[in-house]
Chain A
Amino acid sequence: MIKNILQSNLVYSFVRDISAIAGALVLVVFIFCALFAPVLAPMDPYDLTTVELSNSLMAPAWMDTGSLSFPLGTDDQGRGILSTILFGLRTSLMVGFSVVVISSILGIIFGMLGGYYGGILDAFIMRTADTVFAFSTTLLAILLLGIFQSRNIWTVVFAICIAGWVKYARTIRGSVLEVKENAYITAAKSSGAKDFRILFRHVLPNALPPVFVLMAVDLAVVIMLEATLSFLGVGVPITEPSLGMMISIGKNYIYAGMWWMVLFPGLTLILLVVAINLFSDWLRDEMNPKLALRS
């Protein structure tokens, strides 16, 4: 399958699409930063022994009150903004990727079973999905997290996944319904293949492309959602600040003129989401069979 993707003109069109390249580049850089945050960051913002309260609220280095050891300034606790962004990126991406992976796997399983077998199983899955979808992932996450006694990054992931699988299930179900009408599925059946083989060898690989697109979009959505949850006070704990948490701490300081506490994490978040969106826009166009047929 990988080979198939590579040899299609995906790569060709990718190289030709500047915004997609830019998006992918930013994304890769960010992922790299997140992975190697402990090495890259000037300081470990979570190492309680190195953070000095006396360094709090310093302006970026190029300003009068700035210091070179904190290139982008510090927050109210004396953590370097740059370092915290690097670590915050880590949290944000971790939540983003975990949610996308978990909910897509759940969604794919439910959607595929529902779509392929139909009947009561399908009705049950889709009714559940409808209900959850009606509430929207955001609302459910807010409610769940509001109720949880203790919150950590995994409860946040859990709360988002509770509703997050639905869109995957719907998408994959839609494409399974379409794929299963193809004659090659009938051909596989007529060769005497068992359901399991048909599902995983014939149906799934062909039903998957729209899910890739959705995953890319969803990654951006989840990262923003996590930020929103942090803002509302139901996100990750403050001990593991995400970008959203940084912004919501910093927002109280913008009027006081300490814009760097919001601007830099805010920009990082926007850049991240823009990058993912650019990339997924391209992916969406490329994977749309109607548009892709032009080749």
Chain B
Amino acid sequence: MKTPLAAVTNLKVHFPIKKGILARTVGYVYAVDGISFEIMPGETVGIVGESGCGKTTAGMAMVQLTPITSGTVQWKGRDMATMNRSGLRALRREMQLIFQDPYSSLNPRMTVRQILSDPMDVHDMFTGRQRKERIDFLLDTVGLSPGQADLYPHEFSGGQRQRIGIARALALDPTLIIGDEPVSALDVSIQAQIINLLKRLKRDFNLSLIIISHDLAVVEYICDRIIVMYLGKIVEAADYASLYKDPKHPYTRTLMSAIPVPDPARRTRRIILKGDVPSPINPPAGCRFHTRCPDRMDICDKQEPAMQRFNDGHTAACHLYNNTYADHSHATPTKGDNP
């Protein structure tokens, strides 16, 4: 087996909650609480889950922009924690980010040219004449005209800004791009443009991509493998086809059924969850989904389910599939949820 490009092992990120003048820690936000996954060169991985489940935090922790509480992130087999500051800075060149909000991710006081040059300055790349060519190339790649290089971000539409953000991510010739909800702030018609662009880039540049999103449909469209997160944990991970055809975890099923399908002919019986997403400050004991789970069993609030491996690469963490406790009436995936 090839070495993965990046491997995350048992990653935990807990944010302390501070109070008072002495800023004593009174508790933690368990934003990411022990997740493991890896990404192969050229692979596209999607991370989905509800708001606040730790998707962004996981992404940020991978590029060391958020302090890691425990666990390791390995880059091409090397533990990033062992690198020094300058080594890390150099490595940042290889992993780049695309941000969720096209409005706040570009410095409003810099022209597109400055925005694209800035990272090159930092790494002393593409100096002199090369610089201009590179910028023209980047703009062309993301579908903007080089003539627009001296405009300011506010002179672009949301979709165009997101393209600038993508161009910046490409500027340093990265190996891995992490897109943090790259399309969720965009209008539907623009969203399609960006999704197509990302697919194209992946093909053309042999990039590895991590796409973070709350929209299963978007992720399914671009990704090879999909990871479903709930409250800081991975509940299910699988090949896109496998996940879609045979979702194992009740949460994944709920998520799928909740997405409105633009076809009035296929109005379906949805799984309506009770209650709200619990807080990551004191996550429920046992399985974190048990408070809302339609297939809840006695064991669920007592014991945390282990990750179970199904066929090649499909894993899920749910007591339904634990043979000792399995109650087969529940184990049967609810048919008819999916068209």
Which residues in A have some Cβ–Cβ distance to B below 8 Å? Answer: 1, 4, 123, 181-184, 186-194, 197, 201-202, 205-206
**Residue B265 at the A interface, CB < 8 A?**
no
- Cβ contact within 8 Å between A184 and B106: yes
Which residues in B have some Cβ–Cβ distance to A below 8 Å? Answer: 21, 23, 60, 63, 65, 88-90, 92-93, 95-97, 99-101, 104-109, 118-119, 122-123, 152, 165, 168, 172
- Cβ contact within 8 Å between B90 and A188: no
**Residue from B96, B118, B152 having most chain A Cβ neighbours under 10 A:** B118
- Cβ contact within 8 Å between A192 and B106: no
Smallest Cβ distance from A150 to chain B, in angstroms? 40
Smallest Cβ distance from A193 to chain B, in angstroms? 5
- Cβ contact within 8 Å between B21 and A123: yes
Could you tell me the distance between the alpha carbons of A125 and B63 in the complex, rounded to whole angstroms?
A: 31
Nearest-neighbor residue (CB-CB) of B97 within chain A = A190
Residue among B92, B100, B101 making CB contact with A190, cutoff 8 Å: B92
Nearest-neighbor residue (CB-CB) of A4 within chain B = B109
Nearest-neighbor residue (CB-CB) of A204 within chain B = B109
Residue among A181, A186, A201 making CB contact with B118, cutoff 8 Å: A201
- Cβ contact within 8 Å between B96 and A193: no
A-B contact pairs, 15 of them (CB 8 A): A1-B109, A182-B104, A184-B105, A184-B107, A186-B97, A187-B97, A187-B105, A187-B165, A189-B65, A190-B63, A190-B95, A191-B93, A192-B89, A192-B90, A193-B118
Residue among B89, B97, B107 making CB contact with A202, cutoff 8 Å: B107
Q: Which residues of B contact A187 (CB under 8 A)?
A: 97, 99, 105, 165, 168
- Cβ contact within 8 Å between A183 and B109: no
Could you tell me the distance between the alpha carbons of A206 and B109 in the complex, rounded to whole angstroms?
A: 7
Could you tell me the distance between the alpha carbons of A194 and B90 in the complex, rounded to whole angstroms?
A: 12
Could you tell me the distance between the alpha carbons of A188 and B96 in the complex, rounded to whole angstroms?
A: 10
Smallest Cβ distance from B9 to chain A, in angstroms? 22
- Known A-B contacts A186-B65, A186-B97, A186-B99; the reply to A192 vs B119 at CB < 8 A is yes
Smallest Cβ distance from B165 to chain A, in angstroms? 8
- Cβ contact within 8 Å between B109 and A205: yes
Smallest Cβ distance from B23 to chain A, in angstroms? 8
- Cβ contact within 8 Å between A192 and B107: no
- Cβ contact within 8 Å between A192 and B96: no
- Cβ contact within 8 Å between B92 and A191: yes
Could you tell me the distance between the alpha carbons of A186 and B66 in the complex, rounded to whole angstroms?
A: 10
Q: Which residues of A contact B93 (CB under 8 A)?
A: 191-192
Smallest Cβ distance from B185 to chain A, in angstroms? 11
Q: Could you list 8 further interchain pairs (A-B, Cβ under 8 angstroms) beyond the known A183-B100, A190-B97?
A: A182-B107, A189-B65, A190-B63, A190-B65, A193-B118, A194-B89, A205-B109, A206-B109
Q: Which residues of B contact A206 (CB under 8 A)?
A: 107-109
Nearest-neighbor residue (CB-CB) of A201 within chain B = B118
Smallest Cβ distance from A65 to chain B, in angstroms? 60
Q: Which residues of B contact A4 (CB under 8 A)?
A: 109, 152
Smallest Cβ distance from B96 to chain A, in angstroms? 7
Residue among B100, B108, B172 making CB contact with A191, cutoff 8 Å: B172
Q: Which residues of A contact B63 (CB under 8 A)?
A: 190
- Cβ contact within 8 Å between A183 and B101: yes
Smallest Cβ distance from B25 to chain A, in angstroms? 13
Nearest-neighbor residue (CB-CB) of B105 within chain A = A183
Q: Which residues of A contact B60 (CB under 8 A)?
A: 186
Residue among A184, A192, A205 making CB contact with B123, cutoff 8 Å: A192
Smallest Cβ distance from B91 to chain A, in angstroms? 8
Q: Which residues of B contact A186 (CB under 8 A)?
A: 60, 65, 97, 99, 105
Q: Which residues of A contact B119 (CB under 8 A)?
A: 191-193
Smallest Cβ distance from B135 to chain A, in angstroms? 15
Smallest Cβ distance from A201 to chain B, in angstroms? 7
Q: Which residues of A contact B88 (CB under 8 A)?
A: 192
Nearest-neighbor residue (CB-CB) of A185 within chain B = B107
